Amino acid sequence: MKNGQCKNGKILIVNLENKNTKPLERMFSEAGFSNIILAIHFSQALNLYGQVYPEIVILDLVGENSEGFRLMEELRKIEPSSYLPILVTTSLEREFRLKALKSGARDLLRKPFNEIELIRRAENIIEARLLHNEMRLRNDLLNKSIEERTKQLQDCRLEVIYRLGQASEFRDNETGMHIIRMSRLSAHLAKAMGMSDRECELILNASPMHDVGKIGIPDNILLKPGKLTPKEWDIMRTHPDIGAEILSGSKSELLKLAESIALTHQERWNGSGYPKGLKGEEIPIEGRLVALCDVFDALTSERPYKRAFSVEESMAIIEKNRGIDFDPKLVDIFKENLTDMVNIIRNFADEQTDKLSDKS
């Protein structure tokens, strides 16, 4: 640190009792300090401290019940976690000098003191305070850049997840908007059934990968325009296992959830689904949620093999399958929140069609 920096340090001289700040002001001025502020009243000292954040406070303590003790307490409230740069000058007895040190004085000089000693001790406090401020500033900048970097990494991770989900949907003749809609529908349904914000966010970000296993299904089956043969269906039904395998072994909470969704989104409430034929609540809630929202979006969307059904037609199909394909409680909650669900599919409609506007 340069000497000039120390001499530019802001000095707050406080004398609440005999109100005489002149001798100290003269000493610091003659020693080359140019930033000297004076206070002779309690509130004035407090306000000045909060406004200029001086590098040092020279506080004169006269009486045993000096207001200066209270002032130190108040200053600590302004900067509870910071370095309080207080130098006390006093002729009080040992007991009160210790009290002053306990109250927050960084250093203490007994009166009468030597002028050179005062200046040297003040310089030490100013230097320490300036270094402390510099370190705090650097830490703040470092923390900010770590925060930005973490956010960038998080954004990048989520983008990769969405793109991975989109890759599987594109192979299946679906648009990229399908995974955006079904993931938002799933998160909204999760919220409506009482899941926490964090759980809903995990559902939002994990559900786009539900069909990632379709990457492993041959084109002649996945893109076949006509009906699949029983043998081809067997192959098609391996996509949950393939997806779970792709996502398996991760320590990430998000990927673990994505693995569970990939594995169980084709299970059906009555046990007629695949790959394991799980029944009712044996199917994890995330699988039940995604199954319903995935089908709702598929029904209301146009696909190469079907037209887009209206919301009413789609809900009639879903309600017909309440307790058969879908968790009956989830169907009820979905219905109660239908307006929000329809808004989601409208807000993220496929760009090339406007199928919902005249069909719902």
Residues that bind Fe ion (CB under 5 A): 211, 294
Nearest distance, CB of residue 359 and Fe ion, angstroms: 20
Cα separation, 24 vs 18, in Å, equals 13
Nearest distance, CB of residue 211 and Fe ion, angstroms: 4
Residues 185/341, Cβ–Cβ less than 8 Å: yes
For 264, other C-beta atoms within 10 Å of its C-beta total: 25
Nearest distance, CB of residue 187 and Fe ion, angstroms: 15
Is the Cβ of residue 119 or residue 298 nearer to Fe ion in the bound state? 298
Whole-Å CA distances, 29 to 24, 93, 119, 268 = 8, 29, 10, 85
Cα separation, 94 vs 193, in Å, equals 67
Is the Cβ of residue 294 or residue 325 nearer to Fe ion in the bound state? 294
Nearest distance, CB of residue 236 and Fe ion, angstroms: 9
Is the Cβ of residue 28 or residue 296 nearer to Fe ion in the bound state? 296
Nearest distance, CB of residue 213 and Fe ion, angstroms: 7
Can the peptide bond before residue 54 be classed as cis, meaning omega within 30 degrees of 0? no
226, with CB counted inside 10 A (0-12, 13-18, 19+), is exposed
Element (H, E) at 56: strand 56-61
Cα separation, 296 vs 281, in Å, equals 20
Backbone angles phi, psi at 271, to 5 degrees: 90, 5
Is the Cβ of residue 123 or residue 294 nearer to Fe ion in the bound state? 294
Nearest distance, CB of residue 287 and Fe ion, angstroms: 11
Is the Cβ of residue 17 or residue 241 nearer to Fe ion in the bound state? 241
Is the Cβ of residue 60 or residue 297 nearer to Fe ion in the bound state? 297
The two structure tokens encoding residue 344? 């989601």
